């Protein structure tokens, strides 16, 4: 184990200056921070906060493979934005809607969905008919006598066609962030923003804030068995160099766990960092220790 605290010094990126018009509005789904607006996502990226695009229609037929909005933030990212006054919770600024106005909006939304469903049913039926008519023309020009069967199918199509609602294309009004939360949920969530800060979250946040102040970019490292993936620059341009594992400085780790995480880091060609925030008079300082697997000769 090698102490690399001195090696973590990098150029600090310039602080993101914000004005009243530059504040990022964060919406919540339960306790998950989300960004819906493109302008907010751009400001967030400019502040060095990456997040992850999770899309709106997961596992639906027309969900984009590369996913899109909203941008899901880690709790540490939301805390950093809130601490630097770069963000505010939309739950705080949204006035409680009148119940009648809210009900009317829901009815209008449902009516729009029903109208869209009927229109898509008509379009799908016309597409089916077009295919059958083309097959009929091919049968007429050929020697096959099965054209009558196609005519019967075309006749039955008008009487028994059904379009499943699960195949319906849905347009999301992403400008109306916070639409998924009822009034009671907004009131409950706004009591503690972004979320209660326990010891585990405090440890992760201290590490996240320290690495960001040194100019590194961080994303989630769940699939690598760590807390953060640490990049020397924007993740669109660089591969991650480190897997950060956050833990209290006095925590005891079994040797088998140390060997497992070190071996994993070696397999994915990354250095594992054990990150422990200092408490007491040195509070805010983080001690970094690196783990690398060395082959036996």
Question: Are 50 and 235 spatial neighbours (Cβ–Cβ below 8 Å)?
Answer: yes
**Catalytic-residue membership of 270:** yes
| Other residues' Cβ atoms within 10 Å of the Cβ of residue 71 | 24
DSSP state, 65? Answer: T
Closest to 7 (Cα-Cα) out of 294, 283, 214: 214
Rounded to 5 degrees, φ, ψ at 231 are -110, 145
C-alpha distance from residue 14 to each of 85, 196, 206, 221 (Å): 15, 29, 19, 25
Q: Is 239 a catalytic residue?
A: yes
Which residue in the list 102, 118, 151, 239 is annotated as catalytic? Answer: 239
Using left for φ > 0, alpha for ψ between -120 and 50, and beta otherwise, residue 291 falls in beta
- Which listed residue (208, 216, 231, 288) is catalytic? 231
The verdict on whether 206 is a catalytic residue reads no
Active-site hit among 206, 217, 270, 288: 270
* Residues classed as catalytic: 231, 239, 270
């Amino acid at each position: 184990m090698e102490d690399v605290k001195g090696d973590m010094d990098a150029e600090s990126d310039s602080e993101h200056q914000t004005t009243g018009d530059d504040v990022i509005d964060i919406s919540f789904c339960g306790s998950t921070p989300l960004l819906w607006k493109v302008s907010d996502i751009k400001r967030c990226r400019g502040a060095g906060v990456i997040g992850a695009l999770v899309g709106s229609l997961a596992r639906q037929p027309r969900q984009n493979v590369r996913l899109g909005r909203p941008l899901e933030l880690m709790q540490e990212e939301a805390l950093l934005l809130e601490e630097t006054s770069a963000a505010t919770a939309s739950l705080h600024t949204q006035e409680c809607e009148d119940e009648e106005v809210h009900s009317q909006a829901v009815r209008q939304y449902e009516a729009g969905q029903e109208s869209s469903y009927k229109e898509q049913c008509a379009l799908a039926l016309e597409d089916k008919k077009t295919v059958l008519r083309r097959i009929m023309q091919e049968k007429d020009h050929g020697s096959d006598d099965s054209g009558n069967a196609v005519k019967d199918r075309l006749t039955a199509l008008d009487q028994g066609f059904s379009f499943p609602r699960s195949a319906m294309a849905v347009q999301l009004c992403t400008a109306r962030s916070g639409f998924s939360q009822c009034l009671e949920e907004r009131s409950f969530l706004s009591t503690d923003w972004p979320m209660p800060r326990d010891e585990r979250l405090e440890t992760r946040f201290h590490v996240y804030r320290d690495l960001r102040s040194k100019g590194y970019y961080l994303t989630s490292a769940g699939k690598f068995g760590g807390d953060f993936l640490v990049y020397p620059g924007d993740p669109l341009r660089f591969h991650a160099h480190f897997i950060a594992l956050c833990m209290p400085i006095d925590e005891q780790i079994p040797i088998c766990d140390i060997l497992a995480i070190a071996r994993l880091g070696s397999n994915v060609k990354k250095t594992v960092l054990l990150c422990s925030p200092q408490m007491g008079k040195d509070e805010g300082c983080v001690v970094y220790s690196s783990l690398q697997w060395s082959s036996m000769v």
